[in-house]
Structure 1
Amino acid sequence: MLEAISWKEYLMGTGIVALGYYAVVISIYYKNDVRTLLSGRFPDQAEKKGKVDWSEEGSKDPMEELETVVSDIRSILEGAGKNAEKAEILERTGRILQNYSGFREPAYRVAIRNFLIQHSEEICGLDFSDGELEAYWEHKG
């Protein structure tokens, strides 16, 4: 039976099936993008809608800002050393976090909290809990 199908017919059939498959996938997952292209608008205009351009003057990339804050917290911990007190560390990190706009975002707040818990124990020997940090930040904020 397979001898009756030529390579040309096989490749043609496989191509038609593949084209149909990709047409279905594109119509399901990229419906909005296809509509944008067919409407005559440029994709750049559609992409900018709802996205923030961090290259604008005065705005910073949140990840770069987070890295700076984490670096500052690390230097506070290293400067305090093994004889640091919790209140001192909380006060100094609180001053840094006041100026950090991303601290209001839950994801960045969790990242900072986890960093502080892990590294304060490693560097200073201090054991902070989630609740303790959140309570302090809520009281200060």
Structure 2
Amino acid sequence: MSLRRSLPLWRVVLSTIVAWPFALAWAAQGTWVTPLPSQTVVASERPLVGVAIQPPPSIAGAEIVRVRWTFRTDVPAPTLKAWLCQDEFCLPLARPRGETLQFSGRSAAGRFRLRFQWPAAGHDTDRAMISGGQLIIDYRQ
């Protein structure tokens, strides 16, 4: 091996020192995944407030980085309105699958809820079944 091609010791030490904080930040990251309970949304002018989804105690003190969600309906539901809420903060969801950084910096220990509204007019059925849902919280300690 040529001496010209090997890295000087000072570069190896410097790159290790610079990389160390990033390695610690990466190691402190985690993901919490939970299924969402199925629920029936009836036609109404008022939103249905879903069941509270409580994160596990193991992420107490953690901070949210990103939130992802997915759910499906048993009927075509172009007029279905949905919100993802944590405590009093609610985010309107444009699609049944997506991700957001809007919860970034908030406590990962707060309860979440999905809210749905199925407007009384504009569709053939008076109810929609929400199922197959999942909530994914990326967090850091």
The structure with more helix, counted as a fraction of residues: 1
The structure with more strand, counted as a fraction of residues: 2
> Which protein has greater RCO, CA pairs closer than 8 Å, 6+ apart?
2
TM-score normalised by L of structure 1: 0.35
TM-score normalised by L of structure 2: 0.35
